[in-house]
Amino acid sequence: MLTFTGLGLFDKNDISLKGLEAIKNADVIFAEFYTSTLMGTNVGELENLYGKEVHVLSREDVEISPEWLAEARDKNVVFLTGGDTMVSTTHVDLRLRAKALGIETRLIHGASIASAICGLSGLQNYRFGKASTIPHPYTSSRGNTIISETPYDTIKLNKEHNMHTLVFLDIDKEKGYMTVNQALDLLLEIEKRRREGVMENTVVVGIARAGSEMPVVKADYVRNLKNVDFGPPLHILVVPASLHFIEAEALVRLSGAPPEILEEFD
């Protein structure tokens, strides 16, 4: 049996009782923290809580050579992930691999950033379109700095369909955790090149440390928000489309958005 278990958003206490029960009954515990990580804890704290060793897997262990899956043929194996257990396509692929090996799988869900952003900001969950990720820029073989334009295109497409965009920010072992400020600078750089006005006069929402006791949630025009200090990671960005009145009021009252965004509803 292979049990995929979501750890929730921030620290060791976010796991569900079902998740703890699965860990209690596990023969082996694996985890990956490259798609998401818990900033309010570490592996040592998790092991102290569980009373068991947690084997942390690399990206290669999960995506390319998951030989460890074979252990689930005759053992109770728990696979831990940050957030919810099936938000990442990587985890769906891993479940399919397990099924192909004849391994029974089970899901124990955890709190997901996809729903947390709605509660924190007041934006309505059914109005979100395709999500995207902003990766760190990289240097080409010719020495040029390459900035992915895919997130910009996703935001543009969602806006054309009047849908909000959830923008995940890159986690890189060498370059670190991308901030809201870096993400906005990259989007503005693309806008400067293309002159399409997707981000112009747009109110966006930055969220930091969702799931913690003191999350930061701020909404403002891009030109202002890119200078806000959101503090330590993890950060995430939301680019709304047009706003329903309740959404606009929530952004003003809960996230400090400029009151002028309510004027169109007067």
Residues 257 and 161 in one domain: yes
Q: Do 92 and 133 share a domain, yes or no? A: no
Predicted pLDDT of residue 266: 57
- Same domain, residue pair 212 and 135: yes
Which domain CATH number covers 93?
A: 3.40.1010.10
Count of structural domains, the chain: 2
Name the CA dihedral angle for 56, 32, 230, 170, rounded to a multiple of 10 degrees: 120
**Residue finishing a domain among 67, 85, 111:** 111
Residue 198 sits in the same domain as residue 254: yes
What is the CB neighbour count within 10 angstroms for residue 213?
Answer: 8
What pLDDT score was predicted for residue 130? Answer: 96
122 shares its domain with 88: no
Q: Examine the fold and report which residue of 55, 83, 111 is the final residue of a domain before the chain moves on.
A: 111
Domain hosting 147: range is: 114-265
Measured over the CA atoms of residue 246, residue 251, residue 252 and residue 258, the dihedral's sign is negative
Q: Where are the alpha helices (DSSP H) in the chain?
A: 17-24, 43-50, 59-63, 89-100, 113-121, 150-160, 180-194, 222-225, 245-255
What pTM, to 2 d.p., does this model score? Answer: 0.90
Do residues 158 and 61 share a domain?
Answer: no
Q: Average pLDDT of 170-174?
A: 89
Which helix (H) or strand (E) element contains residue 177?
Answer: strand 176-177
Least confident span in 47-51, 84-88, 206-210: 84-88
What CATH code is carried by the domain that includes residue 233?
3.30.950.10
Do 121 and 15 reside in the same domain of the chain? no
- 241 and 172 in one domain? yes
Q: What is the pLDDT of residues 102-150, one digit of tens each?
A: 999 999 999 999 999 999 999 999 999 999 999 999 887 787 888 999 9
Q: Which of 111, 134, 160 is the last residue of a domain?
A: 111
Does residue 67 sit in the same domain as residue 181? Answer: no
